[in-house]
């Protein structure tokens, strides 16, 4: 039986959220797009999620706080982090050190091929070189 992999996409930038969601759907993924971390936590509780993609800088609960909650609630899901502030090395170092499930950290905006490959790596379907 075929099982479509579901991607939870969390980003407060609606235009990017819509663009990334459409692109991932065209790649064959099921996409649950939400504009904030609280809705992301609700989706994790209520839907089967295979990969989480989250922005870091969001109003309310930040992406770092969202990742902390994912681990606190023991959701076993790989996480891809998107950041328009990729140069914030302190935040990036904290995420890499603390959360082993975090598969990758990508700079925003990200091209569609790179986003697709980040999801495939998170799913274990593409090696680091691919």
> Is residue 90 exposed (0-12), middle (13-18) or buried (19+ Cβ within 10 Å)?
exposed
Instruction: Look at residue 104 in the predicted model and tell me its pLDDT.
Output: 74
Query: What confidence score (pLDDT) does residue 2 get?
Result: 57
pLDDT in tens, 45-68: 999 999 999 998 899 999 889 998
Closest CA to 52 of 104, 113, 129, 14: 104
DSSP 71-96: HHTT----EEEEETTTT-HHHHHHHH
Distance (Å) of CA 60 to CA 34, 64, 91 = 14, 11, 17
pTM over 0.85: yes
Regions in the chain scoring below 50 on pLDDT? 1, 130
DSSP-derived letter for residue 13 is: -
**The pLDDT value given to residue 108:** 82
């Amino acid at each position: 039986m075929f099982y479509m992999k579901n991607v939870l996409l969390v980003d407060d930038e609606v235009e990017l959220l819509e663009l990334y969601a459409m692109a991932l759907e065209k790649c064959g993924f099921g996409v649950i797009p939400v504009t904030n971390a609280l809705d992301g936590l609700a989706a994790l509780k209520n839907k089967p999620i295979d990969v989480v993609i989250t922005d870091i800088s969001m109003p309310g609960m930040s992406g770092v706080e969202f990742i902390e909650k994912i681990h606190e609630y023991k959701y076993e899901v790989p996480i891809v982090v998107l950041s328009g502030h990729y140069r914030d090395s302190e935040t990036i170092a904290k995420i890499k050190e603390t959360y082993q499930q975090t598969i990758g950290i990508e700079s925003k905006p990200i091209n569609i091929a790179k986003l697709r490959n980040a999801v495939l790596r998170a799913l274990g379907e593409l090696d680091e070189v691919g």
